[in-house]
Structure 1
Amino acid sequence: MQVGFAPPVSGSWATPENMVHVARRAEQLGYHSLWTFQRLLVPADLGWSETYHSVQDPLTTLAFLAAHTGRIRLGVAVLDMPFLSPVVLAKQAATLDVLAGGRLDVGLGLGWAEEEYQATGASRHRRGRRAEEFLAVLRALWRDEVAAHRGEFYQVPPTRMQPKPVQRPHPPILLGGHAPGALRRAGRLADGWVSGSQADLRGIGAAVATVRAAADDAGRDPAALRFVCRGAVRVRPAGPADREPLTGTLGQIRSDLGRLAEAGITELFVDLNFDPEIGSPRADPYESLRRADEVLDALAPGR
């Protein structure tokens, strides 16, 4: 199982200096990838998790870090398709893949926040079918010399988009979501699946099996798919035997990584932004970075 790391994107520690420090340190230690996430808004009463109260834009952050790294892959988990134009995203992602030298992984989802649906003017109507067209438009623009699409939701006249992404035929597409339909869609249409911060890590093997079965039913090779887990790590004193996976001592967390690999996860990225003691606007940014350095060293590949 490959191991990645999430740079600071949420809360007080998400400064340019800290982003570069974590990204470069992760690359030096042999981590496979860096991952961001999207959150557009937060309710006025701040009723959501503090992780969502102050979040940097994911693609802009990755472009910034592309300029400060040279090998490590750059992923977003995930961008919400209902809030985006596939044509605009195709251009942004192709440009980022060029700037990064072919290191981009594109995670896509459907979103869950009603406030963001309202604010962006997005519709929930047939959003699964809309997502399938969204993927078709992306792939056509990235792959075809002349792209065209006439569908129920998107109309693209015969046009050309240059430059193309470095990765051919296109950057890997990973789909998020935990509903059965979302898992099956990932198996049918994507290069893999990426779990969310609220995933049941004890039962994640069942989600992997659903994606793999859908790929097999669609005549695709399940072994070719990637299964990426957001590892919402919380370093704490030794917990009980029934503790939450990835919460506990660094030794306990390291043992959890092996169990997730056995469940079919092919890549996990350590994400401290979802620790309320780190990814909060109220947290001490210097202490957050100190703790991140400890985790980077302790969980580095090969340690």
Structure 2
Amino acid sequence: MEFGIGTYPTHDSVDPGVLARLVEERGHNTSLFLAEHTHLPAAAYRAGQVPRRLGHLYDPFVALTAAAAVTSRLRVGTGICLVVERDPIITAKQVASLDHLSGGRFEFGVGAGWLRESMLNHGTDPRTRMRLMADRIAAMKAIWTEDVASYHGEFVRFDEIVSWPKPIQRPHPPILVGGDGPTVFDRVLGFGDAWLPNVARDPSGGLELVKRIKELQARADRTIDVVVVSTPADPAVLERLAKAGCRRAVHWIPATGKAGVERSLDRWEEAVTTFTGEAETVHRSTAEIMGATLAPST
């Protein structure tokens, strides 16, 4: 099993480039995921109805470009990109550009989101957001894979267009479908390369998630990777996920300064080394501790 990092890239926390260098230096090369919210409705923000940090996020494509520019091995990804709040032609361009500039290190985590007021501000009907997401993903795939692309779907329609560069990863960067609802497997199997569930939403400490991973594997007619986000620094949870066939466990670190990030990484690395059975000290770098365990994602 691989191990990665995710966070909320706020303007008042550690700089994305500094974070990326730190994560790569410590050997977490399989992924750095950054979350997205374009805005928060002011009433919800003032009332504290949603985490206020979500109103302070950098655009993930800008932040990930900064991260990719100062690293050479670290894979970078959206966790998640709210495609129902984005123009698909522009987003296809951003994905391809970032994959190209990073040398093929981008992973496209996608989702429909949950904050209905924000969707409405983008002109999205929350009732049809799942169909809209599928339609936009299909349109983007056409743009990435066709020299002259056309698409005519339920929500997205365009005649012949030319859009370069194409992604380095062919046919396109891996699409990781976020979500934990009862119909998420329809989307994973419909247009995803991996499932991106959030173990923090499982009150059983991963037991229910393990059951769902097995259900997905039974339904799939091809290899579907499972990349679990918000994985706690708990060796027992890591063991549970590994036995279920999870490909990668991603630990979410707080939006804080460098010192706080380093403390969070220390705790994560201690849990990982306990899980892998290494008798090493947490104060050594992850690259030294886990050398063979952390192989770059392909």
TM-score between the two structures when normalised by the length of structure 2: 0.82
Question: Are the equivalent residues in 2 in contact too, given 1:178–1:195 (CA < 8 A)?
Answer: yes
Paired residue for 2:238, among 232, 246, 257?
257
**What is the aligned partner in structure 2 of residue 212 from structure 1?**
217
Task: Report sequence identity in percent.
Answer: 27
> Is the partner of 1:126 in helix, strand or coil?
helix
Counting only pairs closer than 5 Å after superposition, residues 219-234 of structure 1 correspond to structure 2 as 221=222, 224-233=223-232
1:291 paired to 2:269: no
| 66-75 or 53-62, larger mean C-alpha shift | 53-62
What number of residue pairs does the alignment pair up?
267
Counting only pairs closer than 5 Å after superposition, residues 155-174 of structure 1 correspond to structure 2 as 155-174=157-176
CA–CA distance in 1 between the matches of 2:183 and 2:173? 23
CA-based RMSD: 2.2
Question: Are the equivalent residues in 2 in contact too, given 1:11–1:51 (CA < 8 A)?
Answer: no
**What is the aligned partner in structure 1 of residue 276 from structure 2?**
none
**What is the aligned partner in structure 1 of residue 36 from structure 2?**
38
CA–CA distance in 2 between the matches of 1:20 and 1:295? 22
Paired residue for 2:83, among 81, 84, 96?
81
Question: Are the equivalent residues in 2 in contact too, given 1:5–1:269 (CA < 8 A)?
Answer: yes
**What is the aligned partner in structure 1 of residue 182 from structure 2?**
180
Which amino acid in structure 1 is aligned with residue 226 of structure 2? Answer: F
> Is the partner of 1:96 in helix, strand or coil?
helix
CA–CA distance in 2 between the matches of 1:150 and 1:116? 26
**What is the aligned partner in structure 1 of residue 281 from structure 2?**
none
State the shift of 1:295 in Å: 3.3
Relative to 1, partners in 2 of residues 1:129 and 1:186: Cα closer, same or farther, differing over 3 Å? same
CA–CA distance in 1 between the matches of 2:8 and 2:115? 22
Q: Which runs of 4+ in 1 moved over 6 A?
A: none
Question: Are the equivalent residues in 1 in contact too, given 2:8–2:35 (CA < 8 A)?
Answer: no
Relative to 1, partners in 2 of residues 1:84 and 1:197: Cα closer, same or farther, differing over 3 Å? farther
Relative to 1, partners in 2 of residues 1:72 and 1:119: Cα closer, same or farther, differing over 3 Å? same
Paired residue for 1:48, among 47, 50, 54?
50
CA–CA distance in 1 between the matches of 2:10 and 2:216? 30
> Is the partner of 2:201 in helix, strand or coil?
coil
Runs of 5+ consecutive residues of structure 2 not aligned to the other structure? 273-285, 291-298
Deviation per residue, 1:2-25 (Å, 9 max, x gap): 11112562474x232xx3333223
